[in-house]
């Protein structure tokens, strides 16, 4: 009898392994739990709400799951047996602004996002980054013909990575220039440096524009990226920006160079900002700075 139990147990474990492993198995419901985890970064965003949405016919669909980020911006959520493309949206939460060093709260009308191509049911997807750059890619994918299809998601994520010289914007953790020696630490790649300092340059741009909340600049950059050209316009309409990050505040028009040469200028300025303790200077970022300086704004 004991031998029979061992044989049956072995068969059950083998069947579970053949279906993708037993770690995601929900014994109560007989289904596999899809897991997604990662980090929200504009500086690490703590106590933010991260919500996963299904994507139906290229558009944001119903809510699948929601969670809250920890002090380092980390999050993890279970999405049941869901399979398909996923849109992550992050709202609220607090972060340390790179350019000013101030603690800021995401304004009510500002969100960050990321979009993932089809996730298999029961998959354990780890290391996903939700950043201003993934947000720009999500806005671009949504505006493409057909919306957020797998093909458009992959194309938009790749294109925004090419724009900021980051090979994989979904999985590369941005360097945090507010951490002492972060740019010279072991294992830090040029992709991580480019990623972290592109985000810091957006913060510096917001400071130059006297924005109270730098997340408002990210929102403008998402709108700018949506049509595939960084020129301060969404289609034929110039983008307005809230200067205090809230409704009812003063507004201004986004400069045509905000995502190109002006962003390069902001990055150069940040390299001498006393908050930059990464150990890097402008010469370490010359390739990206020159690329942005001479960019025509086309997202390829």
Which residues in the chain land under pLDDT 50? 1-30, 245-248
The DSSP code for 249 is S
CA 122, CA 29: separation in Å to the nearest integer?
A: 13
The DSSP code for 231 is S
Q: What is the pLDDT of residues 215-240, one digit of tens each?
A: 999 999 999 999 999 999 999 999 99
How many C-beta atoms lie closer than 10 Å to residue 76's C-beta? 15
Q: Check residue 249 and give its pLDDT.
A: 56
CA 151, CA 114: separation in Å to the nearest integer?
A: 15
Which of 184, 251, 187 shows the shortest CA–CA distance to 217?
Answer: 251
Q: Check residue 251 and give its pLDDT.
A: 78
Beta strands in 19-177 (DSSP E): 25-26, 31-32, 35-40, 49-56, 59-68, 74-78, 84-91, 94-96, 103-105, 111-119, 124-130
Q: Check residue 32 and give its pLDDT.
A: 74
Instruction: For the chain, give the number of residues.
Output: 300
DSSP conformation letters of 104-140: EE--TT-EEEEEEEEEPTT-EEEEEEE-HHHHHHHHH
Q: Check residue 58 and give its pLDDT.
A: 98
CA 81, CA 148: separation in Å to the nearest integer?
A: 21
Q: Check residue 250 and give its pLDDT.
A: 67
């Amino acid at each position: 009898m004991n031998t029979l139990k061992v044989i049956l147990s072995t068969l059950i474990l083998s069947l579970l392994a053949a279906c993708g492993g037993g770690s995601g198995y929900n014994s109560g419901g007989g289904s596999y739990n899809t897991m997604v985890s990662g980090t929200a970064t504009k500086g690490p965003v703590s106590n933010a709400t991260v919500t996963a949405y299904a994507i139906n016919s290229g558009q944001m669909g119903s809510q699948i799951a929601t969670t809250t980020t920890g002090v380092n911006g980390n999050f993890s959520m279970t999405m049941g047996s869901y399979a398909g493309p996923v849109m992550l949206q992050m709202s609220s939460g607090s972060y340390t602004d790179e350019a000013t060093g101030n603690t800021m709260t995401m304004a009510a009308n500002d969100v960050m996002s990321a979009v993932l191509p089809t996730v298999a049911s029961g998959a354990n997807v780890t290391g996903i980054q939700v950043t201003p750059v993934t947000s720009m890619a999500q806005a671009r994918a949504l505006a493409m013909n057909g919306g957020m299809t797998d093909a458009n998601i992959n194309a938009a994520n790749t294109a925004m990575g090419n724009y900021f010289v980051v090979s994989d914007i979904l999985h590369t953790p941005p360097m945090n220039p507010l951490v002492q020696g972060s740019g010279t630490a072991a294992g830090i790649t040029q992709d991580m440096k480019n990623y972290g300092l592109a985000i810091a340059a957006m913060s510096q741009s917001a400071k130059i524009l006297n924005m109270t909340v730098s997340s408002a600049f990210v929102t403008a950059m998402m709108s700018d990226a949506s049509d595939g050209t960084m020129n301060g316009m969404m289609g034929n309409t110039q983008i307005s920006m809230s200067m205090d990050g809230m409704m009812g505040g003063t507004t201004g028009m986004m400069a045509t160079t905000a995502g190109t040469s002006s962003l390069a200028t902001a990055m150069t300025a940040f390299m001498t900002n006393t908050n930059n303790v990464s150990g890097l200077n402008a010469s370490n970022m010359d390739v990206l700075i020159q690329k942005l300086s001479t960019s025509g704004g086309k997202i390829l």
